[in-house]
Amino acid sequence: MLIRSAKVQFLFWMSFFSVVLYLWIVTVGLQTFVLPDTKPLHLPQNVVFLLFILYGLLSVSVLAGTIIATMINNKFYQKFFSIFMITALATLIATKSMFG
């Protein structure tokens, strides 16, 4: 059995929770704005607040993972978090451009 350092375990769990948060954001966005039977007449405030909180948690976890991966010079997690940060920001920009 391999015993990993605490920093690598932290990076693994940060990457896991980042992916879970991103999938949660995409799921809530699709269920609320893309897939409903009727178009909402006004923007649901509770969903917008939830998405705001989830994006905040996602940005904190991705930035923490990027900083720790850079500090211990772990190339795999540096690439993972960099690509994930670009993907999350591209999704945010695409969503903003579609829904105004």
> DSSP string of 20-60?
HHHHHHHHHHIIIIIS-SS--SS--HHHHHHHHHHHHHHHH
Q: What is the pLDDT of residue 42?
A: 79
The verdict on residue 68 lying in a domain is yes
Where is 75: in which H helix or E strand? helix 75-99
The verdict on residue 69 lying in a domain is yes
The verdict on residue 72 lying in a domain is yes
The verdict on residue 29 lying in a domain is no
Q: What is the pLDDT of residue 97?
A: 81
The verdict on residue 11 lying in a domain is no
Q: What is the pLDDT of residue 2?
A: 67
Cα–chain center distance at 5:
25
Q: Choose between 100 and 96: higher pLDDT.
A: 96
- Count structural domains, the chain: 1
The verdict on residue 87 lying in a domain is yes
Over residues 13-70, the pLDDT tens digits come to 999 999 999 999 999 988 888 777 777 677 788 988 999 999 999 999 999 999 999 9
The verdict on residue 26 lying in a domain is no
Q: What is the pLDDT of residue 4?
A: 77
Q: What is the pLDDT of residue 81?
A: 96
CA distance 34 to 19: 21
The verdict on residue 100 lying in a domain is yes
Q: For residue 57, which of 100, 28, 19, 98 has the smallest C-alpha distance?
A: 19
Q: Choose between 96 and 65: higher pLDDT.
A: 65
Where is 6: in which H helix or E strand? helix 6-29
Q: What is the pLDDT of residue 1?
A: 46
Cβ contact 29:51 at 8 Å: yes
Domain encompassing residue 100: 63-100
Q: What is the pLDDT of residue 43?
A: 77
